[in-house]
C-alpha cells in the first residue's frame, strides 16, 4: 500500500534553513502534525514551542512578538520563555504554577534548524545527520525550500529511485532514459540507513553537466544515495570516460553533493529542503544562478508529479500496487520508517 500515515516523531527533522529563521520574526511550521513556532532568542539561538497559546489557542507565529528570550502572544499578550513557561499574564500579578506550553529540542547545525518533535527525553543532538558541505569552503551551495502536497514517503520513494530522471526530468537533468534504466545498481541497508549506488558508464552528459565542465565526450556517471529518515544525500557526478570515476579518483569533472531534507508535515503534505553543493567553478555568480534555476525547474517537475500521484492515490487509498527491481532502495526505506514508527528500532 503506497499511501500510509506513518510520521515517526522520534527523529531529527529539518524545520528550516538557518536563513529562514530571522531574528525578531517567529516562523510557523507543522511537523508530524504538530504545529510549532520557531524563533531566535536574544542570543540568536533557536527556540521551538507549540504554536498555540494555552489561553485562547492563538498561533503565536501569527504576529507574535519576540522580545529577548520571550515570545508574546499576538492576541492577549501572554509571554512565554524559550522553554515554554508562561512568565506573564496581562491583567494579573500571579501566573499559576505549571502554566506552560510544550517546547521542543531544537539545534542549529550545518546551516539548518533541526527539531525533535517526539519524546524530548530521547532527543540527542549527536544523532543529527552530518552535512559538512554547507560549511566547507571547498564547496559552494545553493538551496531551495518547497512545500509539497504529498505524503513524505512519496518524496522518499522519488529520491531513492532515480530512474524517474529519464521521464520526469527529461527536459532538465534527465539525459537518456535508457541509460538510467540500464544502470548498474547496488542497494545495501545498515541499521536505519540505506545506500543505493548507481553507476552509468559511458553515457551522454546531460545539459547541466555540460554547463559545468567541458567534457571530451561521453562520461562515466555515478549516483550514490544515502538515506536516513528525514534526510537523503545524493552524491552525483560525472568524469570523462575511464578517468577514475569508479576507482576512487574523483578529482575532476562535475561533482554535486545534493542534500534533501524531507520533513513530514501532515499525512498529505511535506516540506522539502534541498541544497546542491559543487566543488568546481566556485565563485561564479552567473553559473550559480544558472544551476539554481535549473535545480528549481527540476524540483518543480517532481512537485507536479508527486501532487498528481497523491491526488490519484487518495481516490482509493487502500489500493495495492506492484514494485519493480528499481524500488529496492525505497522499499528498504519504507521498512525502516515502519519499524521506527512502531518503536522497534531507533534512529542512530
What are the residues binding a copy of itself (CB under 8 A)? 2-3, 33, 35, 51-52, 54-59, 62-63, 72-78, 89-92, 96, 99, 154, 157, 161, 163-164, 166-168, 177-178, 180-183, 185, 304-305, 308-309, 311-313, 315, 319, 321-326
Q: Which is nearer to a copy of itself, 60 or 277 (CB)?
A: 60
Q: Which is nearer to a copy of itself, 89 or 297 (CB)?
A: 89
From the CB of 148, what's the least distance to a copy of itself, in Å? 15
Q: Which is nearer to a copy of itself, 143 or 163 (CB)?
A: 163
Class of residue 290 by CB neighbours under 10 A (exposed 0-12, middle 13-18, buried 19+):
middle
| Nearest by Cα to 286 from 111, 137, 142 | 142
Q: What is the dihedral of CA 123, 125, 126, 130, to 10 degrees?
A: 130
From the CB of 249, what's the least distance to a copy of itself, in Å? 28
Q: Which is nearer to a copy of itself, 167 or 186 (CB)?
A: 167
CA distance linking residue 35 with residue 148, whole number of Å: 17
Compute how many other C-beta atoms are within 10 angstroms of the C-beta atom of residue 302. 21
Give the phi and the psi of residue 88 in degrees, each rounded to 5: -155, 135
Do the beta carbons of residue 80 and residue 70 sit within 8 Å? Answer: yes
From the CB of 140, what's the least distance to a copy of itself, in Å? 32
Q: Which is nearer to a copy of itself, 54 or 146 (CB)?
A: 54
CA distances from 97 to 56, 69, 94, 311 (A): 18, 20, 9, 47
From the CB of 61, what's the least distance to a copy of itself, in Å? 9
Name the pairing type of β-strands 184-190 and 105-109.
unpaired
Task: With both helix axes pointing from N to C terminus, report the angle between 285-315 and 152-160 in degrees, rounded to the nearest 10.
Answer: 120
Give the phi and the psi of residue 303 in degrees, each rounded to 5: -55, -45
Do the beta carbons of residue 263 and residue 234 sit within 8 Å? Answer: no
Reading the block at residue 304, the C-alpha cell is 507536479
Q: Which is nearer to a copy of itself, 43 or 315 (CB)?
A: 315
Q: Which is nearer to a copy of itself, 27 or 183 (CB)?
A: 183
Amino acid at each position: 500500500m503506497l499511501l500510509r500515515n506513518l510520521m515517526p516523531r522520534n527523529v531529527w527533522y529539518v524545520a528550516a534553513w538557518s536563513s529562514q529563521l530571522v531574528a525578531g520574526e517567529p516562523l510557523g511550521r507543522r511537523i508530524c502534525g504538530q504545529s510549532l513556532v520557531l524563533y531566535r532568542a536574544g542570543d540568536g539561538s533557536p527556540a521551538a514551542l507549540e504554536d498555540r497559546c494555552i489561553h485562547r489557542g492563538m498561533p503565536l507565529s501569527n504576529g507574535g512578538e519576540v522580545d529577548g528570550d520571550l515570545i508574546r502572544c499576538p492576541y492577549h499578550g501572554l509571554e512565554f520563555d524559550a522553554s515554554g513557561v508562561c512568565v506573564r499574564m496581562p491583567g494579573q500579578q500571579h501566573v499559576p504554577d505549571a502554566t506552560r506550553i510544550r517546547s521542543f529540542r531544537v539545534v542549529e547545525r550545518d546551516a539548518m534548524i533541526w527539531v525533535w518533535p517526539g519524546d524530548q527525553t530521547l532527543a540527542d543532538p549527536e544523532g543529527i545527520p552530518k552535512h559538512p558541505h554547507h560549511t566547507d569552503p571547498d564547496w559552494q551551495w545553493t538551496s531551495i525550500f518547497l512545500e509539497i502536497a504529498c505524503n513524505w514517503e512519496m518524496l522518499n520513494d522519488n529520491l531513492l529511485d532515480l530512474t524517474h530522471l529519464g521521464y520526469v526530468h527529461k527536459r532538465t537533468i534527465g539525459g537518456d532514459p535508457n541509460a538510467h534504466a540500464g544502470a548498474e545498481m547496488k542497494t545495501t541497508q545498515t541499521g536505519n540507513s540505506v545506500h543505493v549506488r548507481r553507476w552509468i558508464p559511458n553515457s551522454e552528459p546531460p545539459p547541466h553537466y555540460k554547463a559545468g565542465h567541458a567534457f571530451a565526450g561521453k562520461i562515466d556517471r555515478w549516483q550514490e544515495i544515502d538515506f536516513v529518515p528525514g534526510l537523503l544525500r545524493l552524491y552525483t557526478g560525472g568524469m570523462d570516460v575511464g578517468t577514475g570515476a569508479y576507482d576512487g579518483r574523483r578529482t575532476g569533472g562535475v561533482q554535486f553533493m545534493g542534500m534533501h531534507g524531507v520533513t513530514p508535515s501532515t499525512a498529505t503534505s511535506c516540506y522539502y529542503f534541498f541544497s546542491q553543493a559543487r566543488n568546481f567553478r566556485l565563485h561564479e555568480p552567473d553559473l550559480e544562478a544558472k544551476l539554481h534555476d535549473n535545480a528549481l525547474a527540476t524540483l518543480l517537475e517532481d512537485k507536479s508529479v508527486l501532487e498528481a500521484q497523491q491526488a490519484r492515490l487518495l481516490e482509493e487509498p487502500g489500493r495495492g500496487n506492484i514494485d519493480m527491481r528499481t524500488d529496492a532502495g525505497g522499499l528498504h526505506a519504507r521498512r525502516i520508517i515502519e519499524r521506527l514508527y512502531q518503536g522497534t528500532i531507533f534512529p542512530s
